[in-house]
């Protein structure tokens, strides 16, 4: 499993309904009604993100399967390498094993696997 940041996009209409705004000078999400109610935001890659306290969001197996298919069925070590380089702080110890299991059970990959991979069937 791999941690991931999932953006929650709030459009202008929703922010007007909630009576909140983004103060770009202080990087805070602020209430129009109660000026003491603010939520700190952190800049990252040109966007502002809400830092959830004590939250870990992981890729599901289904999402890793989708990545495997969308990257043209790479071997598990290649996809693990991409995920590790893309977000090293979100890469966990279970990610390579999960990706290896996905490749072993992928119907498209079974016919194209190198000889050194052994299937236990």
More confident residue, 19 or 90: 19
- Phi, psi at 20, each rounded to 5°: -125, 155
How many CB atoms are closer than 10 A to CB 18? 13
Q: What is the mean pLDDT of residues 7-13?
A: 71
Could you tell me the residue ranges of all domains in the chain? 12-50, 61-110
Mean pLDDT check: name the lowest of 41-45, 58-62, 92-96, 106-110.
58-62
Helix (H) / strand (E) containing 27:
none
For residue 11, what pLDDT is reported?
76
For residue 101, what pLDDT is reported?
92
Q: What is the mean pLDDT of residues 28-54?
A: 80
- Phi, psi at 107, each rounded to 5°: -60, -40
Q: What is the mean pLDDT of residues 31-38?
A: 88
Q: Across the chain, where does the E strand assignment appear? A: 20-23, 28-31, 38-44, 47-50
Residues of the chain above pLDDT 70, percent: 75
């Amino acid at each position: 499993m791999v941690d991931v940041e999932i953006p929650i996009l709030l459009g202008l209409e929703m922010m007007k309904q909630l009576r909140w705004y983004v103060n770009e000078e202080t990087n805070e999400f602020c209430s129009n009604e109660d000026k003491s109610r603010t939520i700190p935001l952190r800049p990252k890659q040109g966007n502002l993100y809400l830092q959830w306290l004590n939250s870990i969001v992981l890729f599901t197996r289904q999402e890793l399967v989708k990545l495997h298919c969308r990257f043209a069925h790479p071997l598990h070590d290649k996809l693990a390498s991409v995920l590790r380089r893309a977000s090293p702080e979100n890469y966990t110890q279970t990610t390579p094993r999960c990706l290896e299991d996905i490749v072993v059970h992928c119907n498209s990959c079974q016919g194209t696997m190198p000889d050194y991979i052994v299937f236990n069937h």
